[in-house]
A and B are shown apart, each in its own frame.
Chain A
Amino acid sequence: MEKFKHLTSTAVPLHIEDVDTDQIIPARFLKATSREGFGENLFRDWRYHKGGKSNENFVLNNPLYSGEILVAGHNFGCGSSREHAAWAISDYGFKVVVSSFFADIFKGNALNVGLLPIQITTDQLSILFEHISEDANTEFVVDLETQTLQIKKTDLVFPFEISKYKKECFQNGYDDIDYLLSIQEEIKSYEQKIPAFL
């Protein structure tokens, strides 16, 4: 996992609620056996018309918007557990996803692959959408140490939560396996107690 500490970037607004992982990466693109290349098909059926022509009305195709932050509506990432959704967002070039609510499995997947999910309140999310809509070049500052998201050049600073453990993983580029492998002895002693019928 890559280290993450601080990011200043413009953002792409995806003003849709309940974005499910089938939209983020449709099932027909899950046939790969490596983690790379999924960004190409991120939001495939919203980005392209059937036949492959680019859908100019979709925000990723709007030249006005760019950046490493995706700002999305409530309940982002619901549905299937496919980690490919987090890979696709990350592979496309986003490092942070902001929403007022994340689906559980997606959030866990994002944290495991180094894509930072930032949950803010519904009101704060509306403020973000308003700023981006007024000026697509609005910059945001994500600071992991202070756990804040700031609308640059304003005094609007929104705090966000992340577990101490996951924060350290992001800051140091560690993942859960590094930790789990370090407690192998304790796992082995747990295994001694498992009843035979399980």
Chain B
Amino acid sequence: MSKTLFDKLWDAHLVKSVDGLDVIYIDRHLIHEVTSPQAFSGIEARGISLANPSKTIATPDHNVPTKNQHLPIADPLSKFQVETLRENCKKHQVEIFDLGHPQHGIVHIIGPENGITRPGMSIVCGDSHTSTHGAFGALAFGIGTSQVEQVFASQCLLMKRPKTMRITIDGELSKGVTSKDVILHIISELTAAGGTGYFIEYAGTAIETMSMEARMTICNMSIEMGARGGMIAPDETTYTYLKDKKYAPKGALWEEAIAYWTTLKSDEEASFDREESFAAEDIQPMVTFGTNPGMGIQISQTVPETIADASFQKSLKYMDLKGGQRLEGQAIQNVFIGSCTNGRIEDLRAVAEYVKGKQKADHVKAMIVPGSKQVEMQARAEGLDKIFTDSGFELREPGCSACLGMNEDKVPANEYCVSTSNRNFEGRQGQGARTILASPIMAAAAAISGKIVDVRKFI
């Protein structure tokens, strides 16, 4: 029988089925300081230990400062949470990439860059952006803390099999249009709830020609349309990225792995529960105007006028924007470049290329937070840090930072922030903060111009 990539991965991880639910085996469990402490307490209260500590990897990312990481954390609650992670890892023999460790960083950045994330794996984390790892042809999805505890206890999860959707994007992206614009475009078309209940496979020539970094940005935001996860079939691009990564299989094992990975792509005849398709040529640079990621428009468009909808109006009021207005030309005060969506080296390179020799607008605070220590070191090695500093951007140390404002990196109330992160929810970047999601080059261009611009006019 013909199978989709998703079917092959799901079936390969099926331990057994019971009452319409499936027991799914988890190959890799990534944990961080915010959603794991209660799960550790949970197994301790049950008097059991981790079923398979060697399959779990920890890193503190959500709640860490992005300045002076060598000093003790100032916020006592954050400090306690990070220390709790350390203690739990020690007690339960879990490997941790702690602050200052060369492999420290945002959990969804360090998995791929170290070869911990690999095709054919099932990967979970108590974080909704776990879908990022699907870019490698892995079954990857975010879970709640009770499920973190389930994986600790049994290395398995009890799941209802999701439906499958394929989103095909064919064609060539225009200059100035990035994978971030592709995913924001898709979400704006399918809505913030449009993918709920589905596992999405992204396919088509536009996806096939993308780098791994670009593919990760797409899969990362699958959750923003409610999807359980996103995935892309592994191919030469995937193998080239993974080869020789620290944890990637080596020698004969690598050959064996490739032989298996090449069998994973969806069969020609395989059918999906739902199919959607987009033409790459129709996609323009995107910006969001509202308070969920589905509320996005092409830069050349105006904010929709939907007067009857109270939730829509509440959202516009929060953003202090009006139906019918353009975002192009809108003054902004902050730019945030980073997060598990766009905090990779390719993103930093794109920003550096744009800002080189230019100066940020005086009234804009522009912050670049690398997704990991490796990204930071690579940026420094390539001299990007100097380009950023010369242009008035501040390069920080790795962490989730202003994507969710759990640490000190918050956007002040009533100020706009053009952000390369994934969510524009009310208060997401700080109480009263107004987030406009965009690609790294759109964010860089906004920082230089001091307002939202169409980056295509400047490249």
Partner-B contacts on A (CB < 8 A):
15-18, 20, 22-23, 26-28, 30-35, 45, 50, 73-75, 78-84, 86, 101, 103-105, 108-109, 112-113, 163-165, 175-177, 179-181, 183-184, 186-187, 190-191, 194-198
Q: With A86-B144, A163-B21 in contact, is A103–B226 under 8 Å at CB?
A: yes
Among A22, A35, A198, max chain B CB count under 10 A is at A198
Interface centre among B145, B310, B431 (most CB of A within 10 A): B145
Question: Bound state CA distance, A78 and B292, in angstroms?
Answer: 9
Distance between Cα atoms of A79 and B143 in the complex (Å): 12
B53 within 8 A of partner (CB): no
Name the one of A18, A30, A75 contacting B34, with C-beta atoms under 8 angstroms.
A30
CB-CB < 8 A to A112: which residues of B?
144, 146-147
| Interchain Cβ contacts under 8 Å between A and B, 11 examples | A31-B81, A81-B128, A82-B34, A83-B35, A83-B145, A103-B193, A177-B42, A180-B23, A180-B153, A194-B25, A196-B249
Beta-carbon nearest neighbor of A189 in chain B:
B15
User: What residues on A are CB-neighbors of B81 within 8 Å?
Assistant: 31-33
Asked if A163 and B160 sit within 8 Å, CB to CB, the answer is yes
Residues of A within 8 A of B16 (CB): 183, 186
CB contact between B196 and one of A35, A104, A180, A196 (< 8 Å): that residue? A104
Kindly list chain B residues whose C-beta atoms are within 8 Å of the C-beta of A177.
42, 46, 149-150, 153-154
Q: Which of the residues A33, A84, A105, A163 comes within 8 Å of B128, measured between beta carbons? A: A105
Which among B103-111, B173-181, B200-208, B422-430 touches the partner chain? B422-430
Asked if B118 lies at the interface with its beta carbon under 8 angstroms from chain A, I say yes
CA distance A163 to B227 in the complex (A): 20
Pair A163/B193 contact, Cβ less than 8 Å = no
Q: Which listed residue, B25, B84, B193, touches A18 by the CB 8 Å rule?
A: B193
How far does the Cβ of A146 sit from chain B's closest Cβ, in whole Å?
19
**Is B154 in contact with A180, judged by CB distance below 8 angstroms?**
yes
A83 to B148, CA, bound (A): 10
Report the bound CA distance from A44 to B427 in whole Å: 11
Contact B193 A74 (CB under 8 A): yes
Q: Across the interface, which residues of B come within 8 angstroms of A109, CB to CB?
A: 144-146
Assess whether B68 is interfacial by the CB under 8 Å rule. no
Residues 1-40 (chain B) with a chain A CB within 8 angstroms: 15-16, 18-21, 23, 25, 27, 34-35, 37-38
Nearest first, the 8 closest Cβ-Cβ pairs linking A and B are: A83-B144, A112-B146, A109-B144, A197-B257, A33-B37, A180-B154, A31-B77, A81-B142
Is the CB–CB distance between B425 and A45 below 8 Å? no
* Residue in chain B with minimal CB distance to A175: B146
B406 touches A31 (CB 8 A): yes
CB neighbours of A28 from chain B (8 A): 405-406
CA distance A179 to B159 in the complex (A): 13
Chain B residues near A45 (CB, 8 Å)? 426-427, 431
Given A16-B311, A184-B154, A197-B260, A22 and B428 contact (CB-CB distance below 8 Å)? yes
Structural contact, A22 and B121, CB atoms closer than 8 A: no
Which residues of chain A come closer than 8 Å to B156, judged between CB atoms?
180, 187
Are B158 and A176 in contact (CB-based, < 8 A)?
yes
Contacts of B19 in A (CB 8 A): 163-165
Distance of A103 Cα from B226 Cα, bound (Å): 6
Q: Which residues of B contact A104 (CB under 8 A)?
A: 162, 196-197, 226-228
Say yes or no: A27 contacts B405, CB within 8 Å: yes
Q: Is the CB of B158 within 8 A of A34?
A: no
Chain A residues lying within 8 Å of B142, measured Cβ to Cβ, are: 81, 105
Query: What's the least CB distance linking A188 to chain B, in Å?
Result: 9
Are the CB atoms of B427 and A195 closer together than 8 Å? no
Determine if B226 and A78 form an interchain contact, defined as CB atoms under 8 angstroms apart: yes
Q: By the criterion CB–CB under 8 Å, are A103 and B196 in contact?
A: yes
A197 touching B249 in the complex, CB below 8 Å, given contacts A33-B38, A45-B431, A175-B146: yes
Q: Which residues of B contact A196 (CB under 8 A)?
A: 249, 253, 256
A190–B120 alpha-carbon span in the complex (Å): 16
B127 within 8 Å of A (CB atoms): yes
Contacts of B314 in A (CB 8 A): 16
In the complex the two chains form, is A50's CB within 8 Å of B147's CB? no
Q: Which residues from B are CB-within-8-Å of A81? A: 35, 126-128, 130, 142-144
Complex-state Cα separation, A78 to B226, whole angstroms: 7
* B78 part of interface (Cβ distance < 8 Å): yes
> In chain B, what residue has the closest Cβ to A74?
B193
Give CA–CA (A112, B145) in the complex, Å: 9
Q: A175-B146, A197-B260 are in contact. Are A23 and B80 (CB under 8 A)?
A: no
